[in-house]
Structures are given as C-alpha cells and as structure tokens.
Structure 1
Amino acid sequence: MSTENPRTVAAIAPRPVLGKLPSYAAGKPPVVVEGLQSFKLSSNENPLGPIPAVLEAISSRTDVNRYPDSLSTTLRTELGRFLDVPASDIVAGAGSLGALNQLLATFAGQNDDGKADEVIYAWRSFEAYPICVGLAGAESVQIPLHPDGTHDLQTMAAAVTVRTRVILLCTPNNPTGPILRTAEVENFIQAVPSDVVIVIDEAYLEFVRDEDAVDGIAMYRKYPNVVVLRTFSKAHGLAGLRVGYSVSRPELTQYLRVAATPFSVSTVAEHAAVTSLQHYDQVAERVQSLVDERERVAAGLKELGWSVPDAQGNFVWLNLGSNSSEFAALAERKALSVRAFGNEGVRVSIGEVEANSRFLELCAEYTKAPLSF
C-alpha cells in the first residue's frame, strides 16, 4: 500500500514578484591572508563599535524572556528630547530598513483595481529599495543619477504620475556618497503634489559636514508630506541590534502605527539606543575620528589623480565600471573586503586607520583609475 501523500507532489511556488526582484547582497567578510590583519570595508559598519557606556548598560540586561514595549516609549521619549520633536511623531522600527518597510506597507502597494502604486527613487541608490518596493506590491520607478553620483531631482519630479505614492531621497546617497542640498530639496518638494509621501533617508546624517546639506527634520517641520528615516546602525555602532525610526507629522503617523511591526525593537536594543543618545558627545567624538579618516582617504585618492564623488557618508565610491570585480579581487588578496556593484563601481567603507592606509596603498598600485565625471 502506497504511503505517498499526493499533496506533497506539486511544488510550492512563491509569489511571482520574487522572480523579478534582485537579491540583497550583504558585504562579505574579509578572507584570511597569512601575515596580514583582515579588515571588513564592505558593509558601511562603524569599526569602532558602540561607546563603552552602551556595552556596560546592555551587559546587565536579563529580562530577555519578556516582550519589549511595542511602542518603544522610552526610546521615542528620549529621541523627542534629542530632536526637539513630539515623541508621538516618532515610530520605531528594526533599523531604518524596518521603518522603511512599515512606510511602504502603509502608503504604497497593490490597489483594489489591480494596479500597483509607483515609488520613485534615484538609481543607483540603497540596494534594498527595489526589494522593499517590490515586496510591498508597488512598482519601482528608477531615475538614473547624474554622472557625479548626485540625484537628478528635475527628472524625478517630471516622473511623478497619478499613480506615484512615495518618493525616496537618500542623502548622503548610498553607495555614491553626495548629499542633497537644502534649496534643491525644497524646490523639489514644492514641485511634487502634496499627497505624495516624500521620504528623506538620512542613515548617514551624522557623518555629513557640508553646511548646505538638507536637514530632514527641518523639512518635516515645514511640509506635512515629508517623512524622515534615521538609524542607530551607523554612527552609534548598533548595526547588529537593529534600531531605527521614522519621524513624520500626525497626519501620517496615525497610519504608520497601524502598519508598524509589533515588538520590532528589542528591550536590549532600545536600552542601548537610549544610553547612546544620553552620551552623544562620546558618539560624536568617534564619528569625527571616522570623518577625519574619510577626509584623509579622499585626499589620498585625489593625490593619485583619481576622480571620486563628494564623500559625505562613512564610505567612498570608486567609479571603476567593468574593472570593479578585478579591483575587489585585488583588495581581497590584501585581506580587505570591499563591496563591488556589478560593472558599476566599488564602495569602500571607512575602517580602521591601518585598513584605510592599506586601501590607499592598493589604489596607488592599481593602474586603472576610476572613470571621470
């Protein structure tokens, strides 16, 4: 007698959209090379880690058997004081990516008539954007960057249609590095219909030193359709704990709270983020040391005659085109892990002093300079 269950014969298929989406390619760890210390420069992580006060604070947490506060009240209260905004305007998420997914789930997707909403963003930009948009059921509208790695806001505004629901602005842009400027963003917001949600993604805000850079919080105060995304992953060194948040006016947060993932920020993560905010002077000190290293790396590249976009995050972009994979392989042989993006370019995170120096040495030896813009 056959024991085969006929229900198990047919293959289980995922939603068709999965076959159309790119896979997220996380930065690879460095390989071990005898005689060299390995360094990971592929994920835009903070190589200095969290400040000592954070490590001390979370080491004593033993209540991990309890669910966290689903509203992250303590964190939102501390952030409200830090940013001088109402705590009720803040919605926490598992990193800024979690906050973004909550946003897309709320405002963009598939409609009752079967037509998908549109989400506009620059490309290349944060590689999770097309994945998140597609999984939300919406359609990506990608607008190519200018050759210098900056957003083409004029073309983005012209791309808006009646189906456009959300626009994503990444500043500084990951992976290319330049910021968006205040005047150009204001002109853009004013050119876009007020019922379109404009998201200003500021994951690398703390590393910005250009005084003309747009301030997302200032835009949120002026325009009801602006949402700001920020994270504790980069400057605060809490990437592994997944803490991020959005800031928006009550007209939007009332809906975002409905779509927010329950318990998305753990008690340990919330405690770490609050402690880090309370010792922000120490965080700022560490960030400045990384900015100093970024400036040293950028200056070193220019001395070699290499053309690189303005770096305002904790990384630099090498427009190496078809040589990207070759350069990444050479870096690997020197125990450096960098992030190649197909035949477009290579993003190199700012790491430890020794790592940055070794990267510059590699560039000095490499004969195929990045393409000029």
Structure 2
Amino acid sequence: MFVNISENELKNQIEYMKPILNERQYRLFLGTVAISIGRGGQSLVARLSGASVNTVHRGIEEVKSHKEKENPDRVRKPGGGRKSSSEKYPNIQKAIEEIIDGKICGDPEKIIHWTTMGLMDIAEKLKADYGIEVCHTVVSKELTKMGYSKQLNQKMLQVGTPHPDRNAQFEYINATAQQYISQGVPVISIDCKKKENIGNFKNGGAEYRRKGDARKVLEHDFPIKELGAVAPYGIYDVDKNTGFVNLGISHDTAEFAVNSIYQWWLHIGKETYPDAKRIYINCDGGGSNGSRLHLWKVQLAKFAEETGLEVLVSHFPPGTSKWNKIEHRLFCYVSKKWAGQPLIDIETVIDLIGSTTTSKGLKVKCILDENEYQTGIKVSERDYARIDIERIEPLTDWNYIIRGFKHS
C-alpha cells in the first residue's frame, strides 16, 4: 500500500503518525511500511523516519511473528529507555548529603529535616564538584527520597540582625569537622535536651492502642517533687552515627555538661578511638556549655588533664542552635520514641532513650547520673588564667583549643 507513493509523501505520512503512536506502536508501523515496500524498504524507512535500522528491523520481526516475546502491553523492552538518576549516578544521594551538610536544620521535637540551600545551587555543586549532571527537579526528587520536604514557615530567624560572622563560622565548623573525621579524630555534637518531669503526665504525640483504650494520665502537669525531673545531656558522634545520653537528675551546669562528655569518653569514645590524641566538640553558644562561661572552660581543662586529650571547641553563632547536628540526628528520634508515652519513672526514660534507633543505623546508650551539681559556682581570675587555652583566629570567641592547665 506504500509502494506507489513518492518518498516525500511517505515521509509526510511517517511524520504524521509518529506523535500519535507510542514507542511500540510506532515501531510496528515502521515495520509494516518496510514490509509493504519490499526490497530496500528497511533502509528507506530508516532514512525517511530518522529511526535506526535496528529499530525498523525489530518492527518487521514483531509484525511477522504477530506477537512480542515479552508482555504485549509493554511499550519498551526491559532495560530500554533513559536510566533513572540513581542508576546513572549511584552516589548521588551521598553527594547531596555532603553538599548540604552544615546547611541542614531540624526540629528537636519532630523528625523534620530541611536545608537552607536552593535546588539549583545543589544541582550546580553536583555538576562542579562531583560531575553529576542533573536538573533541579531531580535534586528535589532525591531530597524527598532522603527524607527532606518543603516546609511551612518555621520560627528559625533570630531576633535582630544575624551575626556578620555567622556563615564564616558555619564554614569553619564544616571544614574542620571533615578534616578531623578524615584523620580518625572524634567529632562530637553536644547539647542538653529540655528537662522532662517524671510522672504519669501527658506526653506530646500519639501511640497505637486498642480503640477506646486511650492511656489515662494526670489532669495536671504540675511537677511531683518526690519524682523530680531529668535532664538528658546528649553526645552525638557525627562520623559513627552513635548517640550517648547522660541522664541527670540535678541541675544543668557546666560541671554536668563536661562530666557527660567524660562519661561518653569512658563508655564509648575511649574504645571507639583508642589512638585519639584530640577531640573536636561542636556546641551551642549558651547554656551550661556557653562560649563565655568560665566554669565550662575550667571543667574542660580538667577533662583534658584527666584524659590527655587536646580539646578543640567550636560554638554555633547566636540564634543558630537548630543547626547543631545533635538536634536533628539524635534528639528528634528520642522525642519520637517516647511520643505519647508518659515518663512515669527514670527506668522508663532510660529504656526509651536506649532503645532509640533509625533506619540509618543510629544506636544510643543512656546512663543515669546521680550526682548533685551545685549552681552559682564562681571561677576566680587566678584559676581561669591557669587554663592552657589557644584561641583560633579570627573568630576567637567561638573557636579555641584547651590542653589542660599551665604548669610552671
């Protein structure tokens, strides 16, 4: 039926049919045309349509056999078509994680992660640094697979003007952490989770129970003096994805903070890093581990003396505590673990924290700290001057090394 028409007319018919047929139908159509023409039809159809000779040949074979060897509903044969981004670039998610590392935020009470980087910025970095050429929509899809999502407005902006050195400090922390991890040096993120009252109180979130069998809790949230409250001080190993929680029953002081680090070292760090000579600590700029707190530095000097470790400390700038990795890599999962469950006693808290895990392999150890920590301790100028401290330029208030005490 296509024998007596000109090549130009045949080309027009092929172009007319192409957009209204799917891939398989178009292949069968080309095969039918080639069979109708007879000798030389295969090469002629390939030339007029722009399809490969192999495609036309497959169409001829399928028409002649009157069936496909594979599923007749299939448009492409297995393995056909463009490969997905994850198939083409198996390391794309790892590369994205490395690019947005340090630019991730998280709510310590919810498992919600987001990044401050734009999709196009990430795509550009993927191409420049990793040779991965994908568009911003692919980046968006990969971020969704990795657990990130678009978020509504968050109360993340600090009151007033952000510190002018904020981004410079972020860059320093990220670069130093990567350097230390590559050298096998422990890098830990630390903070104290908000205090929790012990008792049969309502706890945010929900748990699965039989219908009509909601858990009964006290109608008020007033603390019960006899039961007290707990202060979970966390240490998160950035490289090993392990958490440690020192559960205090006293005050959140600098002494408590450094003892929590010491307990982590005794229970986990010393065994994990037997050859360590240094340690890198990331923490907020306020609270019991505040950058201006003299007692914090004195206690770190004692820690350095006791362990023989050189301690490098970097504080996050004011108003940026949500960028501290422990917030969205440990505390949010602890909160999820005990969501909807009253913290009726200390043993329950320890069990819930210690059984916290994630699909990425997070493991957590929790111990009870029964020490009483005194508040209001003042450090004399003489004792403070004894600290062997080296301040790192240019952001000396936020970055410093403590090696113990000066011995003259």
> Could you state the TM-score of these two structures normalised by the residue count of structure 1?
0.31
Bigger Rg, which one: 2
Structure with bigger RCO (C-alpha 8 Å, 6+ apart): 1
